[in-house]
Amino acid sequence: MIKLHDKCFKPFISAKEIDAAVSKMAKDLANDLGDEIPVFVGVLNGSFMVVSDFVKKYPKPCEVTFIKLASYEGVKSSEDIQRLIGLTQDLTGRTVVILEDIIDTGKTLQEIHRIFKNEGVKQLLIATLFYKPEAYKKDFKLHYVGIEIPNKFIVGYGLDYDGLGRDMPEVYQIKTTQHMTNLVLFGPPGAGKGTQANFLKEKYNLVHISTGDVFRFNIKNKTALGTLAKSFIDKGELVPDQVTIDMLNAEVEKNTDANGFIFDGFPRTNAQALALDKLMESKDSQINAMIALEVEDEVLVQRLLERGKSSGRADDADESIIRNRIKEYYTKTAILKDYFSAQRKYYGVDGFGSVEAITERLCNAIDKL
């Protein structure tokens, strides 16, 4: 991920893919043009990089020149007529190929057609490396298109965002969901995860996704995913990660206006952590932190025994069962602590003290993300 001015961009098209597209355009044009010596016309500023690479790959003699379109000074409306800088050469009777970095609405292309109408060229061909079909509003033919892309803003390989990014050899796409806070909440039994998750979701407008709750909800409501999950559970098998991920995906999609998510009970394995990273990436987002409530074993045991007096949960009543659950938690989560530490995303928070004091510590950690 990279940041230019106020916006974040993610890797989108590699230098290798660009190279292949430029090669193909050069080859197709050379085949179609035969022995004709074309004049390639780059439209500045964006096209400088593609033109440079293109002509190096063009296998036959050619001419290269550049033009630039500029708005008349003082005119700022979007419908303004542009004037041309740089066309000094006589193009009468020549085959002219406009080389564009990107065609978006087609407005620039319309100006180019208007300008070249009176040049007496033999033919005017349009070639563009990138093309956004969903954004294109004109009907001028595009003779050569390198790569079709969705209608999202890109930078790199000549293209800029407010002056920056032109120099990058690969292309990045704008990230549409920014400022998301996605947390993985961890803590041994009795650490107060549920209590704290309730505070955090209110304060930060987050959606609390407890995998256990999602499973129970889907199974109870007999959703397709619930039925699938139940078929494994009934056979005494673990629910495959992909089924859980599909459920989480559905939960994330349901809550598009949330500021982020608190994942609780997932991931539990390295593979699940990787799958969750991939899911968040597909949403233009990421896990920001694993927050683990750290509480001494003796305190946990006391808290759970206390809870057992009123909760009626059998596993809260027996001290040796409690100690086993705590031990199991540390054995199972060590792997995840390593996973998130390696990404510098592990935050241990002291879970000893009053509920308010712990909430404050959690908020301090989150506010610093």
Q: Active-site residues: which are they?
A: 193, 268, 307, 313, 325
Contact flags string 74-113 toward Mg ion, x per CB under 5 A: ----------------------------------------
Q: Which of 207, 205, 230 is nearest to 217 (CA)?
A: 230
Q: Cβ of residue 136: shortest distance to ligand IMP, in angstroms?
A: 7
| CA pair distance 127, 35, nearest whole angstrom | 19
Binding status of residue 158 toward ligand IMP by CB under 6 A: no
Identify residue 360 by its one-letter amino acid code. Answer: E
Euclidean distance between CA atoms 228 and 232, whole angstroms: 7
Beta bridge partners, 263, equal 184, 209
Q: Per-residue b/e over 66-99, b at no fewer than 16 CB within 10 Å?
A: bbebeeeeeeeeeeeebeeeeeeeebeebbbbbb
Shorter beta-carbon distance to ligand IMP: residue 9 or 340: 9
165 binds Mg ion (CB under 5 A): no
- Give the count of residues interacting with Mg ion (CB under 5 A): 2
Is it true that the peptide bond before 267 is cis, omega within 30 degrees of 0?
Answer: yes
Alpha carbons 22 and 40: distance in angstroms, whole number: 14
Find tokens 């909760």 and name the residue: 311
Which pair of tokens denotes residue 354? 């009053």
> Is 344 in contact with 288 (CB distance < 8 Å)?
no
Select from 17-25, 45-53, 300-308, 329-337 the region that touches Mg ion (CB under 5 A). 45-53
DSSP H or E segment with residue 263 = strand 260-264
Alpha-carbon distance of 256 to 252, in angstroms, equals 7
156 contact choice in Mg ion, ligand IMP, none (CB below 5 to 8 Å, kind-dependent): none
Under rule CB under 6 A, how many of the chain's residues touch ligand IMP? 13
Stretch that binds ligand IMP, among 113-121, 152-160, 217-225, 226-234 (CB under 6 A): 152-160
105 interacts with, out of Mg ion, ligand IMP, none, CB within 5 to 8 A per kind: ligand IMP
Taking the complex as a whole, how short is the minimal distance between the CB of residue 139 and ligand IMP, in angstroms?
13
Please report how close the Cβ of residue 12 comes to Mg ion at its closest, in angstroms: 18
Q: What is d(CA 133, CA 150) in angstroms, rounded to the nearest whole number?
A: 7
CB of 43 to Mg ion, least distance (A): 5
Tell me if 10 sits within 8 A of 173, measured CB to CB. Answer: yes
Single out the residue of 172, 154, 147, 204 nearest to residue 364, CA to CA. 204
Q: How far is the CB of 44 from ligand IMP (least distance, A)?
A: 9
Q: Which is nearer to Mg ion, 46 or 308 (CB)?
A: 46
Q: Report in angstroms how near the CB of residue 170 gets to ligand IMP at its nearest.
A: 14
- Interaction residues for ligand IMP, span 217-246 (CB under 6 A): none
46 binds Mg ion (CB under 5 A): yes
In the complex, residue closest to Mg ion by CB: 46
| Touching ligand IMP, residues 88-147 (CB under 6 A) | 102-109
Pick the binder of ligand IMP from 140, 153, 217, 352 (CB under 6 A): 153
Per the structure block, which two tokens stand in for 230?
A: 């139940």
Q: Which of 18, 26, 42, 46 binds ligand IMP (CB under 6 A)?
A: 46
Torsion over CA: 41, 47, 48, 54 (sign):
negative
Residue 82 binding ligand IMP, by CB under 6 A: no
Residues that bind Mg ion (CB under 5 A): 43, 46
Residues that bind ligand IMP (CB under 6 A): 46, 102-109, 153-155, 159
